[in-house]
Structure 1
Amino acid sequence: MTADALATWCQVRNQIDWASAAGETPAPVRAAVDGFAIWCEAGDRSSNPARGDRLLTALTRTRVDASRKRPLTYVLLAEWQRLVLGMPEVAFRRGDAFAKGGRERYALTSHTQRDFVHCVSQSTDPRVPLASRAARAYLDVAFFHPFPDGNARLAMLTLAYVLELERVRVDQVGPLQTTRYADDAAGAADLADLVSVLIRSTHRRATRPRH
């Protein structure tokens, strides 16, 4: 049987020095261009308008929830996922999940959902820079794979939400869309650094004097 990539991620996650993986970033940051909205448009609406509309609706909902400072819980994620999938109800997966053509297996145990809830609750830890918290939450959703479908979209919405809580938006999302592997500690740290770069570059462009 394929090794349990989720167990690997949990080990890797605890080995990374998230406090040093990314530097401090400015806040608030209001991008001149809404990178996450563009991601919704480019990734789905062009080929599947209904799916793209659902994703935009979910993005809007995350921003309303951020304005209300709602904690990042399983219940909140499930509310977004219902919008993403256009389903009246969604439930935590009931068996092992697979990704990357079956090369990664995310096992299901009696404590998987509990561990997932604990991990995403750390997204507001003030001891960890914002970019690291956002990247870590993204990877938690990707590798815990909580729902049978739509986890990649939910991971990006989760990253956007963690930033939005600090009133930060970025003008580019494309660089984030790279395949991630559960056993890649360096890649996880690089993702945190990339989020930091995107925040700082967005802030620089948004505050650049206009002539």
Structure 2
Amino acid sequence: MRREADWRSAPALHRVTPDRDGFRSWCEGPVRRRDPARAERLLAAYAVARADAARRAPLDFALLAGWQREVLAVPEAPFRVGDAYAKAGRERYGLTPRTRADFASCLREATDPALPPAARAARAYLDVAFFHPFADGNARAALLTLVHVLAREEIVLPEVGPLQTTRYADDPAGAADLATLIGVLHHRRRRGVPR
């Protein structure tokens, strides 16, 4: 799916002064209403992810594991040791001797200047979702990865709730649609703002 998606057609994103931080609003709204402790952990991880973006830290498993320790309030967040399953067992993410190296290679592409930031953010999100590196919390790790990739470009989405939909590993059109959705969310902020 990663090679089949049309990443180059992703919309252009522009740096704008943030008027609303969508990740923070999502944590303070629906996440906090459902589970205040979870919201606090996500906000702590988000602060670390944003600081990592500001210092231009390379995206790698160690960085993600640091965020994940905050998200799950655990001392360690190791790479999974067996196959992973999602969607009530309908999707299986195998573990081979190459899985970890392949994942690292994909994460390194998150700064590839040949692709628009929306494509890089979408691809990194899906890489985390479908490599499924952690035993728990992969959806949260994927969203943190997406906002980190955008933050490296000084881009903050005004909302992230619409990103929280089911994605499938064998859907290249859906992968490209995620990049488009990032553009739509970003451009909602830009209405009425001169270019």
| Shared fold, TM over 0.5 | yes
Query: Contact 1:29/1:199 (CA < 8 Å) preserved in 2?
Result: no
User: What does residue 6 of structure 2 align with?
Assistant: 17
User: What does residue 174 of structure 2 align with?
Assistant: 187
Partners of 1:199 and 1:150 lie apart in 2 by: 25
The CA deviation string for residues 123-148 of structure 1, in whole angstroms up to 9 with x for no partner, is 11000001000000000000000000
SS in 2 for 1:24: coil
Partners of 2:57 and 2:39 lie apart in 1 by: 24
SS in 1 for 2:92: strand
User: What does residue 113 of structure 2 align with?
Assistant: 126
Report the CA distance between 1:43 and its aligned residue: 4.0
The CA deviation string for residues 134-164 of structure 1, in whole angstroms up to 9 with x for no partner, is 0000000000000000000010010000010
SS in 1 for 2:57: coil
User: What does residue 136 of structure 1 align with?
Assistant: 123
Q: Percent identity?
A: 56
Partners of 1:203 and 1:165 lie apart in 2 by: 19
Stretches (4+) displaced over 3 A = none
Partners of 1:82 and 1:43 lie apart in 2 by: 22
User: What does residue 20 of structure 2 align with?
Assistant: 33
User: What does residue 94 of structure 2 align with?
Assistant: 107
Residue 79 (structure 2) pairs with residue 92 (structure 1): yes
Amino acid at match of 1:125: D
Aligned equivalent of 1:169, options 148, 156, 180: 156
Partners of 1:52 and 1:170 lie apart in 2 by: 18
Partners of 2:162 and 2:30 lie apart in 1 by: 13
Report the CA distance between 1:79 and its aligned residue: 0.5
User: What does residue 60 of structure 1 align with?
Assistant: 47
Query: Contact 1:30/1:203 (CA < 8 Å) preserved in 2?
Result: no
Distance change >3 Å, CA 145–CA 43, structure 1 → 2: farther
Partners of 1:30 and 1:72 lie apart in 2 by: 24
Aligned residues between the structures? 194
User: What does residue 186 of structure 2 align with?
Assistant: 199
Partners of 1:43 and 1:145 lie apart in 2 by: 24
Report the CA distance between 1:23 and its aligned residue: 2.3
Amino acid at match of 2:24: A
Query: Contact 1:37/1:56 (CA < 8 Å) preserved in 2?
Result: yes
Q: TM-score, normalised by structure 1?
A: 0.88
The CA deviation string for residues 80-113 of structure 1, in whole angstroms up to 9 with x for no partner, is 0000000111100000000000000000001101
Partners of 1:96 and 1:123 lie apart in 2 by: 25
Report the CA distance between 1:204 and its aligned residue: 2.7
Amino acid at match of 2:25: I
Query: Contact 1:24/1:130 (CA < 8 Å) preserved in 2?
Result: yes
Partners of 1:194 and 1:30 lie apart in 2 by: 20
Partners of 2:130 and 2:115 lie apart in 1 by: 20
Residue 37 (structure 2) pairs with residue 50 (structure 1): yes
Q: TM-score, normalised by structure 2?
A: 0.95
- Structure 2 residue ranges without an equivalent (≥5): none
